Amino acid sequence: MKKVKLLAVLSLVIFISCTETSKETRLQELVDQRKEIDTEIEALKKEIALQGKTTVSSELSTPVKIDTIKPVSFKHYIEVQGNVETDNNILIPAEKPGLVKHIFVNKGDHVKKGKLLAEIDDIITKSTIQEVENGLELANIVYERQKRLWDKQIGSEIQYLQAKNNKETLEKKLKTLNESYRKRKIVSPIDGVIDEILIKEGEMAMAGIGAIRVVQLTSLKITANLSERYITSVKKGDTVNITFPGGGICCVKTIDAVSQIINPESRTFQIELDLSHEQNSLKPNMLAVLDIYDYTTLNAKVVPINVIQQKGKEKFLFLAVNDGDKWRAKKHTIKTGLYQDDLIEVVDGLNFGDRVITVGFHSLADGDIVRIQE
């Protein structure tokens, strides 16, 4: 009984195995048949086309869409990020150390050149100046009297020279003291706006350390660094479309300066654009996006970049050409130039009026019959 059951199980396994093998074999046979049918269909289509039959059905032609080449304006631009800067962004230091006595401005104040911003206390120098001024007043009186006597040949020459030397010595000393006292005052060197105040009244100010920042917003500019490969194509006067993402502002400017020196570390060169006449809403260190137009032509032949195919070094596309009562695809070798976004300029190989196949070209071969769709 056990032997009978074992034989039944083995028979079932063999049957299932044979069935699966039979399905795989049949599938392969069908695939091979389809390949033979497809090959035969393609051969018949080409034979019918070569015979010039007008009875070829629309099912044997490939539906395509075309664009007719017309002269258009084509612009190529380089996109780069820049930064808003100002040459008049000055962090004014205290020239002499000392206690901050007074701060005369607040952040955001508009100030004129020469405006006193803060004062460093210097009681000793101020007292010394007063003493020297008093001494100089007496020295001037003595000198004038000695000079009048000497002019009348009265008195000795040594007395006259001593009075003159004493006066001149005190004048030089007073000048030095006044200069030293002047350096205790922080004065704005430009017209501008108080941007930062880094000192406080009653605290010590250190010599040479920035104390108050003054920014002049009427002398703004944009600087940007470009790759060295553009050194010959970007020049002074080129048009630039500028967008400020942070402020939602757009404007068009021209390049005012192009550096001719390549930075050896970054392999870039710098350009500058003047913004001195732009809106007051622009601020230093704002980000700017620059579209630099380095190439423009008014009568370009342009095609969608995706229609161009390449085999080795050859670039080609398909044109739709009229062949009696039907249209055929013609492989056409071209030479391309610059591209922008999804368009590319064709500099050789196309004529105005040519019909470029823009949809359905992937399955085409040279000479295939096509059906133009609107």
Say what angle helices 157-182 and 123-151 make with each other, to 10 degrees. Answer: 150
User: For the whole model, what pTM was predicted?
Assistant: 0.53
Q: Indicate the range of 217-221, 321-325, 351-355 predicted with least confidence.
A: 217-221
CA distance 272 to 102: 40
CA distance 181 to 96: 9
As a whole-number percent, the residues of the chain with pLDDT over 90 amount to: 26
CATH (residue range 90-215): 2.40.50.100
> How confident is the prediction for the chain on average, in pLDDT?
82
Task: Grade residue 316 by pLDDT with cuts at 50, 70 and 90.
Answer: very high
Residue partners of 226: CB distance under 8 A and separation at least 6: 78, 80, 234, 268, 269, 270, 271, 292
List the 89-93 sheet strands across, edge first. Answer: 89-93, 210-215, 192-197, 110-111
308: which 2 tokens?
């161009």
Domain boundaries, the chain: 1-56, 57-74+300-372, 78-87+216-295, 90-215
pLDDT value at residue 278: 66
CATH superfamily of 78-87+216-295: Efflux pump adaptor protein, beta barrel domain (2.40.30.170)
Which residue bears the tokens 């205790």?
A: 184
If you classify domain 57-74+300-372 with CATH, what class do you get?
mainly beta
Strand ranges in 94-142 using DSSP code E only, listed in sequence order = 98-103, 110-111, 116-120
CB 236 within 8 A of CB 256: yes
List the 220-227 sheet strands across, edge first. Answer: 249-254, 239-244, 287-300, 72-86, 220-227, 268-274, 257-258
Amino acid at 328: R
Amino acid at 323: D
Q: Can you count the helices (H) and strands (E) in the chain?
A: 3, 23
**SS3 label, residue 88:** coil
CA distance 370 to 49: 11
Q: Indicate the range of 10-19, 170-179, 238-247, 352-361 predicted with least confidence.
A: 10-19
